[in-house]
Each structure stands twice: as structure tokens, then as C-alpha cells.
């Protein structure tokens, strides 16, 4: 199996994009947790929960098609041992990474709580809180943290492979 130097760089670029997105997700989630009880912002409304959405904008490739056309390229003692394949997944762009679009949106959902003693209560004694479930936000925090760690591990493994290939 032959690797080119660009293969290493494309792996680094993909992991770097993923690290950047996970860092952004961690910041958004931390902001949501910090403002879970914020009933009044500068504009006078309750804090709006922020959501980061990720959408794959690469062309879709059915798994069955990818499985049929994929083959492992290996060096063998005879060219007849394995069929040659020039498989390039269609969902991967020319630079070697999936095209993923990320957006941060604000939720317009709130929780109404009856608390006439609260300073932000309306005439009926209702206080509007952001619709933030702290337990769900903590799960998102853990998930993003694990993804961040996994991408760091990928970068480390790629670096070790590159170093070992230079030693040969």
C-alpha cells in the first residue's frame, strides 16, 4: 500500500476542521448551560438556546455502491492476486474531506413558570425561561469532548505513521 504525503496532510486538515467544529460546539453548549436561568438579556427577552447544526453537503453515496466498488490496494508478488481499483468515494471532495456546513441557530422556545415573586414575572406571575435542559446540555458537552479527544488521537496516529514512514 502506498501513501502519498498529501494523504497525511488531508488527514490533518480533516481532523483540524473537526477539532474546530467540536471546540465551537463546546463553547455553545457551555454558553447554554451558563444561561439556563437567564430570564432577561440586553434586549429584554429571555436567553435563546443556541443550537449548532451540521449538514453534509457532499453528494450522497449509497453504502451498497461504496461497498461494491471498494477494494483494498496492496502490493503483492503478482498483479493477479488482487484486482486493481481506482475507487474514490463520491461523498469526498477533491481535497479529501467531506463537505460539511455548520450553522448556529437560536431557538424561539421558552418555558413558562409561575413565580409571582420573581422580578421578571409578568402581570399573571409567569416568568419565561430559556428552554434549556441542563442534563441534555451536559450530555452534549461529554459527546463533543469525546469527539474532540478522538480527533486528537487521529492526528497523533497520523503523525506517528508519517514519522515511521520517514524512518524506512
* Residue 67 domain flag: no
pLDDT at 137: 93
pLDDT at 59: 65
Distance between CA atoms of residues 45 and 35, nearest Å? 12
* Residue 81 domain flag: no
Phi, psi angles (nearest 5°) of residue 91: -85, 5
What domain range includes position 46?
Answer: 5-58+93-167
pLDDT at 37: 93
* Residue 13 domain flag: yes
* Residue 39 domain flag: yes
Please give the grid coordinates belonging to residue 90.
463520491
Q: Which of 6-20, 66-80, 84-98 has the lowest mean pLDDT?
A: 84-98
> What's the mean pLDDT when you consider all of the chain?
79
Q: Sorting pLDDT into bands at 50, 70 and 90, what band is 102?
A: confident
DSSP string, 5-62: HHHHHHHHHHHHHHHHHHHHHHHHHHHHHHTTT----TTSSPPPPEEEEEEE-SPP--
* Residue 40 domain flag: yes
Give the CA distances from residue 78 to residues 29, 52, 61, 70, 87, in Å, rounded to whole numbers and listed in that order. Answer: 55, 51, 32, 20, 20
| Count of structural domains, the chain | 1
Amino acid at each position: 500500500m502506498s501513501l502519498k504525503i498529501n494523504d497525511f496532510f488531508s488527514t490533518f486538515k480533516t481532523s483540524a476542521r473537526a477539532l474546530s467544529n467540536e471546540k465551537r460546539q463546546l463553547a455553545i453548549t457551555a454558553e447554554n448551560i451558563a444561561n439556563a436561568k437567564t430570564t432577561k438579556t440586553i434586549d429584554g427577552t429571555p436567553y435563546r438556546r443556541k443550537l449548532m447544526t451540521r449538514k453534509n453537503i457532499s453528494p450522497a453515496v449509497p453504502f451498497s455502491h461504496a461497498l461494491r466498488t471498494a477494494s483494498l490496494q496492496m502490493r503483492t508478488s503478482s498483479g493477479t492476486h488482487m484486482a486493481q481499483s481506482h475507487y474514490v468515494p463520491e461523498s469526498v471532495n477533491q481535497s479529501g474531506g467531506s463537505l460539511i456546513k455548520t450553522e448556529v441557530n437560536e431557538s424561539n422556545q421558552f418555558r413558562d413558570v409561575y413565580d409571582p415573586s420573581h422580578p421578571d414575572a409578568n402581570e399573571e406571575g409567569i416568568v419565561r425561561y430559556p428552554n434549556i435542559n441542563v442534563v441534555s446540555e451536559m450530555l452534549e458537552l461529554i459527546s463533543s469532548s469525546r469527539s474532540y479527544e478522538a480527533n486528537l488521537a487521529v492526528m497523533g496516529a497520523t503523525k506517528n505513521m508519517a514519522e515511521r514512514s520517514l524512518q524506512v
